Amino acid sequence: MNGLLIAIVLFLAAISVAQIVRIFELSSALNKEDSNAVSPRDNDRQGKLLLIFGILFELSFFAMVYAWMPDTLPQPSSLHGVEYDALWDISMGTIIIVFLLVQPILFYFSYKYRGVEGTKASFIEHNNKLEMIWTVVPALVLAVLIIYGMTTWSNTMNPKNDQQPIVIEVYAQQFKWTARYAGDDNTLAYANIHLIQGTNTLGVDTLDKNYADDKIAAEIHLPVGRPVLFKFRSQDVIHSAYMPHFRAQMNCVPGVPTQFQFTPTITTTDIRKDPEVIAQVDRINALRLSQGKDPYEYDYLILCNKICGAAHYNMQMPIVVESVEQYNQWLKEQKTVAETL
């Protein structure tokens, strides 16, 4: 019944708009003007509106940066993350400069050259010198960005190790993460979903000589300053292990092993003392308090970042970065696979 009433109201509204438009058209026909041809007044008005929009658009850009940048990710907590952020700043700086130059030109030209009755546009069909300039200059800028980007990419994907990295398997399934530590031998035993049985939930091969000391955990602990090699595996669909604080991400693909390595540089305790993080957490907690929710403590996270099903939005696991001693202590407390099976 409500739906019918709404439909009737909408229909009547449409009819009344139609009638109003009709009145406008008839009255302008009486005034002998073509209501749909662009008049000099339209050009003047729209040109000015475009200029005003251009100015407000630029101002709102700065307003958004001011208001929202404090809620974005804090400083990187990994070795390569520092290099990542440096490249980010250069690239972002470049595109922001271009953005801040080109948009005003567009809206200023729209205003400046708005149609005026009786004037004629200049006949300018091409200028090879100008074309050359805006081919070569972007090409040079991009060459720098490409070379810088490739270098960073190469350093990130092929890190040089002066220490043996700790090997950790990150195992993804709908909708949870599990970690498997390689244990004392730092070698992960072979595992396959076909071997999953009973308490052997990751399908670890018990015939593999390296299996006994592997350790399975529900959260990831990492020692600060040690390179960590993550090996990713998925049980069902594609997931993506996204660790934004470390500027790290890799897909977990069923049947196709993947890996990513980084060195955490800031412990969880230390990142909680970062002034930007303190300010952000204060804002979050003020909001949570007003909503009657529990206070929040800052944590590193691994999030799923590839659509994986209904609970994709809540597939997460905390990451704790701590001192080597704390890490060793924690690892010692974890049960080995041999003990759990």
Partner 1 sequence: MSAEVHTHDHDHEHQDHPTPNFWNTYVFCTDHKMISKQFLITGMIMGVVGVMMSMLFRLQLAWPEKKFAILEVLLGKWAPEGQMDPNMYMALVTIHGTIMVFFVLTAGLSGTFSNLLIPFQIGARDMASGFLNMLSYWFFFLSSVLMISSLFVEAGPASGGWTVYPPLSALPEAMPGSGAGMTLWLLSMTFFIVSSLIGALNYIVTVINLRAKGLSMKRLPLTIWAFLVTAILGVLSFPVLLSAALLLMFDRMLGTSFYLSDIMIAGEALHYQGGSPILFEHLFWFLGHPEVYIILLPALGITSEVIATNSRKPIFGYTAMVTSILAIAFLSFIVWGHHMFVTGMSPFLGSVFTFTTLLIAIPSAVKAFNYLTTLWKGNLQFTPAMLFSIGLVSTFVSGGLTGIILGDSALDINVHDTYFVVAHFHIVMGLSAIFGMFAGVYHWFPRMYGRMMNKKMGYVHFWITFISAYGVFFPMHFLGLAGLPRRYFTNAEFPLFDTLQDINVIVSLFAILGGIAQLIFLFNFFYSIFRGPRSVQNPWKSNTLEWTAPVEHIHGNWPGDLPEVHRWAYDYSKPGLENDFMPQTEPMQKGEVETGH
Residues in 111-170 at the binding interface with partner 1, rule: CB under 8 A: 113-116, 119-127, 130-131, 134-135, 138-139, 142, 145-146, 149-150, 152-154, 156-158
| DSSP code string of 132-178 | HHHHHHHHHHHHHHHHHHHHHHHHHHS---SSPPEEEEEEEETTEEE
* 219 lies in the site for partner 1, by CB under 8 A: no
Q: Binders of partner 1 among 277-296, rule CB under 8 A? A: 280, 283-284, 287-288, 293, 296
Nearer to partner 1, 36 or 332 (CB): 36
Judged by CB under 8 A, which stretch of 180-188, 236-244, 264-272, 318-326 contacts partner 1?
236-244
**Of 293 and 335, CB closest to partner 1:** 293
| Span 38-97, contacts to partner 1 by CB under 8 A | 38, 42-43, 46-47, 49-50, 53, 57, 60-61, 64, 68-69, 71-73, 84, 87-88, 91-92, 94-95
**Looking at 247, 267, 319, 322, which residue binds partner 1 (CB under 8 A)?**
247
Among 193, 331, 338, 341, binds partner 1 (CB under 8 A): 193
C-beta of 60 vs 206, nearer to partner 1: 60
What is the smallest separation between the CB atom of 235 and partner 1, expressed in angstroms? 5
Select 160 or 332, whichever has its Cβ closest to partner 1.
160
Q: Which helix (H) or strand (E) holds 217?
A: strand 215-217
For residue 229, report the phi and psi dihedrals to the nearest 5 degrees.
-105, 110
Min dist. Cβ of residue 328 to partner 1 (A):
28
- The rounded distance, in Å, linking the Cα atoms of 105 and 103 is 5
Find out whether 246 and 84 touch, Cβ atoms under 8 Å: no
Computed over its alpha carbons, how large is the radius of gyration of the chain?
A: 30
CB of 105 to partner 1, least distance (A): 6
CA angle 92, 94, 95 (to 5 degrees): 65
3-state helix/strand/coil string of 287-319: HHHHCCCCCCCCCEEEEECCCCCCCHHHCEEEE
CA atoms 155, 156, 158, 162: torsion sign: positive
Query: Which three-class secondary structure state does DSSP give residue 16?
Result: helix
Q: Binding marks (x or -) toward partner 1, 6..35, rule CB under 8 A?
A: --------x--xx--xx-xx---x----xx
Q: Are 152 and 87 in contact (CB under 8 A)?
A: yes
For residues 215 and 338, the answer to whether their CB atoms sit within 8 Å is: no
258 lines the binding site for partner 1 (CB under 8 A): yes
